[in-house]
């Protein structure tokens, strides 16, 4: 929603106001409505405001409450409930209090445990003048970023990595371990670090306290491990789910002008339908539109048809974003190709242009991320767990329930088991093009083997626990952040809601999560029936593979490496990408080119 930055001197030196002003001004692209700074004691806060809610129209940050000061990029959910609890604690809180004001009041009451009472997406820092302590926090899922550096007796932070890099004491030295992780796994596997040696990342669901130059980082939330709930009627699951979904969408609206990045599947159309329902109940003066990325020629694609059915049902305008003509690494040499850290995204320009189209008329963009994680689970592990615990009666009931609801026998995975017994299971490949000295210096083969070891899956929710504990989960949301898109647009993800997560984790996998059964049942009568009945299906082709079938695509194998790439990659060992039909190998062998583009852009900024 906004840009934040701060400087804190542990030795009580005065803050360099000119530097703070310059760093705050660099955030104007994400907060064009106002840029302000405040200096309190030996601390300086900066804030760049993006107004996206009614409460933010009169907002001014940094702001204070007695000896407490805050700069925040935050949207706090369940505001009515939180305001009620704060009033019960003696706080004077108005209904139109800003989100930053709510956080300050929560800190006033509960101190560092305030995060236990906050829902929503947030990254903030509070200066507590009473204890001369800086307290920082990041939301449960890491939707809002938070970066920091401790250099030259100073603590520097921002929700924008490039802003931290503006500080003259922060070097451009690369974190080789993060680069190695990118080349091996496509993303940094350490959520505490960044691609720069001096700059750290506050992991999701963590707080940070800086006092007298000492930093303490604490996890405040873990994925819950509760018991399964069982209702007598299937409709009870649907009713509670819809109530929570409406609350999640309502908290992320707080405006009457909104776009939805809408596919032809179930997740984002469900968000669009609930948002339209809520906006219609509020007033007739709302504006809502859908944006859908489609392929018309590259390969068969049904997104246009199904998304069009949803838009017609909701009676909202829909804008199709045709992606056929986008070539891999298009625009990589443009000044607008600004990635804070390496990312293996050959279609980054496609991503940017789609974001720009989605936010051309509205500052708030809703998404359906990540319904595939929350609402879909294969039942095999659940069946296996029941068998292992010798709960044969429950196993027979669940097998019968699966057959009744799905009109088929469950696939128990015997083929996969047999392939595993014969040693035929797929394993990822160690890249052949890594610089041998680099591999030896960082023990990359040991790291590769360690992180690729099979972990004991969660007995009933292997998919969701695996995904939510993976580094790429929060990085997925960071890629929607304004620091990456460079657009003053706030993406909001109603399905990534703590209340929804806790509910779905308590559901029996059969039948609720089989083929998204609960979501399908909840949307019947709300979305068109062909959409509700549509089986989950990936794209019928790979855009990367298909675009490189063109005879003119051999340029990708002739890219000129920047000198620094040789520290990590043996250029001549990279197999040809043009004409490669294996999607996994193509993406793996594109990582050196992605890193090369990032290093080239990094050198051009210096």
Q: With CA atoms as reference, report the closest residue to 218 among 113, 68, 74.
A: 113
Render pLDDT for 232-245 as a digit per residue (tens, 0 to 9): 888 999 999 999 99
- 588, 489: one domain: no
The answer to whether residue 229 sits within a structural domain is: no
From 539, 554, 571, give the residue that closes a domain: 539
Q: Are residues 11 and 117 in the same domain?
A: yes
**What was the pLDDT predicted at 412?**
56
Task: Give residue 417's pLDDT.
Answer: 43
Residue indicated by tokens 């760049």: 48
**Shared domain check, 435 and 330:** no
Residues 6+ apart with CB under 8 A from 22: 166
Residue 270 inside a domain? The answer is: yes
Could you give the C-alpha distances from 264 to 165, 260, 520, in angstroms and in order?
Answer: 40, 12, 13
Q: Which of 539, 565, 590 is the last residue of a domain?
A: 539
Same-domain check for residues 313 and 347: yes
Query: 35 - beta bridge partners?
Result: 48
Are 93 and 187 contained in the same domain? yes
Instruction: Tell me the pLDDT tens digit for each residue of 127-164.
Output: 999 999 999 999 999 999 999 999 988 999 999 999 99
Phi, psi of 341 (to 5 degrees): -135, 165
Within 10 Å of residue 582's Cβ, how many Cβ atoms?
11
- For residue 561, the enclosing domain spans 544-605
The whole-number pLDDT of residue 409 equals 66
The pLDDT value given to residue 414? 44
Global model pTM greater than 0.85: yes
Domain boundary residue among 174, 194, 219?
219
Name residues whose C-beta falls within 8 Å of residue 123's C-beta, 6 or more positions apart in sequence.
Answer: 4, 72, 73, 74, 136, 137, 138, 139, 144, 145, 146, 159, 202
Could you tell me how many residues make up the chain? 606
Q: Two tokens at 443?
A: 């023990």
φ/ψ of residue 527, rounded to 5: -100, 160
What's the CA gap between 593 and 574, in Å, rounded? 10
pLDDT computed for residue 357 by the predictor: 96
The number of distinct structural domains making up the chain is 4
* Same domain, yes or no: 39 and 138: yes
Measured distance CA(145)–CA(478) in Å, rounded: 7
Tell whether 225 is covered by a domain. Answer: no
- Is residue 167 domain-shared with residue 79, that is, in the same domain? yes
> Per the structure block, which two tokens stand in for 597?
């583009």
Look up tokens 């960082």; give the residue.
442
**Is 227 within a domain?**
no
Q: What is the pLDDT of residue 179?
A: 98
Mean pLDDT by 10 residues, the chain (606 residues): 92 91 97 96 95 91 96 97 97 94 97 98 97 97 97 95 97 97 96 98 97 94 84 91 98 96 96 97 90 94 96 98 92 75 93 94 95 82 71 71 68 50 65 97 96 77 83 88 93 96 89 88 96 84 89 87 97 94 94 95 77
Quick check: is 226 in a domain?
no
Cα separation, 370 vs 365, in Å, equals 15
> For residue 67, how many other CB atoms are within 10 A of its CB?
14
Q: What CATH number is given to the structural domain containing 164?
A: 3.60.20.10
User: Nearest 5°: phi and psi at 91?
Assistant: -80, 140
CB 207 within 8 A of CB 220: yes
How far is 103 from 127, CA to CA, in rounded Å? 12
* pLDDT for residue 472: 84
User: Could you tell me where the DSSP H helices lie in 34-130?
Assistant: 79-88, 99-110
Tokens of 549: 């079938």
Same domain, 192 and 327: no
CB 464 within 8 A of CB 373: yes
Regarding whether 392 and 406 lie in a shared domain, the answer is: yes
Q: Comparing C-alpha atoms, which of 205, 45, 243 is closest to residue 122? A: 205
Structure tokens at 235: 């409709």
| Same domain, residue pair 55 and 146 | yes
Which among 348, 351, 352, 346 has a CA at the least distance from the CA of 556? Answer: 346
* Residue 355 and residue 284 share a domain: yes
Q: What does the alpha-carbon distance between residue 539 and residue 315 come to, in Å, rounded to a whole number?
A: 26
The pLDDT, as a whole number, for residue 335 is 62
Residue 309 lies in a domain: yes
Q: Does 160 map to a domain?
A: yes
Same domain, 288 and 266: yes
CB crowding 408-421: b at 16 or more within 10 Å, else e: eebeeeeeeeeeee
Helices and strands (H and E) in the chain: how many: 24, 17
Give me 222's structure tokens.
């873990």
Residue 494 lies in a domain: yes
């Amino acid at each position: 929603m906004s840009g934040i930055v701060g400087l804190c001197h542990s030795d009580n030196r005065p803050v360099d106001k000119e530097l703070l002003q310059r760093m705050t001004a660099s955030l104007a692209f994400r907060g064009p409505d106002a840029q302000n700074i405040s200096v309190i004691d030996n601390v300086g806060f900066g804030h760049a405001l993006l107004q996206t809610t009614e409460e933010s129209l009169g907002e001014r940050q940094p702001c204070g409450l007695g000896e407490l000061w805050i700069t925040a990029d935050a949207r706090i959910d369940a505001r009515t409930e939180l305001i009620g609890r704060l009033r019960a604690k003696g706080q004077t809180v108005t209904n139109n209090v800003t989100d930053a004001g709510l956080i300050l009041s929560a800190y006033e009451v509960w101190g560092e445990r305030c995060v236990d009472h906050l829902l929503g997406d947030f990254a903030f820092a509070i200066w507590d003048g009473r204890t001369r302590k800086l307290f920082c926090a990041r939301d449960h899922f890491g939707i809002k970023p938070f970066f920091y550096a401790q250099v030259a007796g100073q603590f520097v932070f921002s929700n924008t990595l490039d802003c931290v890099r503006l500080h003259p004491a922060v070097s451009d030295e690369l974190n080789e371990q993060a680069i190695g992780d990118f080349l091996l796994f496509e993303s940094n596997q350490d959520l505490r670090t960044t691609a720069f040696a001096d700059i750290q990342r506050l992991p999701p669901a963590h707080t940070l306290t800086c006092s007298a130059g000492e930093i303490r980082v604490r996890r405040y939330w873990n994925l819950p491990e509760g018991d399964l709930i069982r209702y007598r009627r299937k409709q009870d699951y649907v009713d509670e789910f819809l109530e929570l979904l409406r609350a999640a969408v309502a908290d992320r609206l707080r405006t009457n002008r909104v776009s939805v990045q809408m596919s032809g599947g179930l997740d984002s159309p469900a968000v669009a339908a609930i948002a339209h329902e809520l906006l219609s109940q509020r007033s007739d003066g709302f504006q809502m539109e859908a944006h859908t990325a489609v392929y018309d020629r590259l390969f068969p694609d049904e997104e246009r048809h199904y998304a069009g059915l949803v838009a017609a049902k909701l009676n909202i305008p829909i804008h199709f974003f045709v992606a056929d003509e986008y070539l891999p690494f298009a625009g990589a040499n443009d000044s607008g190709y600004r990635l804070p850290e390496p990312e293996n995204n050959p279609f980054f320009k496609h991503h940017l242009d789609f974001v720009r189209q989605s936010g051309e008329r509205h500052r708030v963009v809703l998404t359906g991320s990540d319904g595939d994680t929350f609402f879909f689970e294969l039942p095999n592990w659940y069946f296996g767990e029941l068998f292992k615990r010798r709960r044969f009666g429950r196993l027979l009931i669940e097998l019968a329930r699966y057959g009744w609801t799905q009109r088929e026998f469950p696939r128990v995975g015997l083929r996969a088991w047999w392939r595993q017994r014969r040693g035929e299971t797929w394993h990822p490949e160690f890249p052949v093009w890594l610089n041998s000295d680099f591999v030896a210096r960082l023990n990359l083969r040991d790291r590769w083997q360690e992180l690729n070891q099979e972990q004991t899956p969660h007995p009933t929710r292997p998919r969701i626990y695996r995904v939510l504990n993976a580094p790429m989960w929060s990085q997925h949301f960071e890629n929607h952040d304004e620091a990456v898109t460079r657009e003053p647009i706030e993406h909001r993800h109603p399905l990534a809601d703590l209340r929804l997560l806790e509910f779905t984790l308590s559901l029996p996998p059969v039948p609720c999560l089989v083929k998204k059964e609960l979501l399908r049942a909840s949307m019947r009568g709300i979305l068109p029936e062909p959409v509700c009945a549509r089986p989950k299906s990936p794209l019928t082709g790979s855009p990367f593979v298909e675009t490189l079938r063109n005879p003119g695509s051999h340029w990708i194998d002739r890219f000129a490496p920047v000198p620094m790439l040789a520290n990590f990659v043996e250029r001549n060992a990279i197999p040809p990408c043009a004409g490669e039909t294996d999607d996994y190998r193509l993406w793996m062998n594109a990582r050196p080119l992605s890193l090369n583009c990032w290093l080239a852009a990094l050198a051009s900024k210096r």
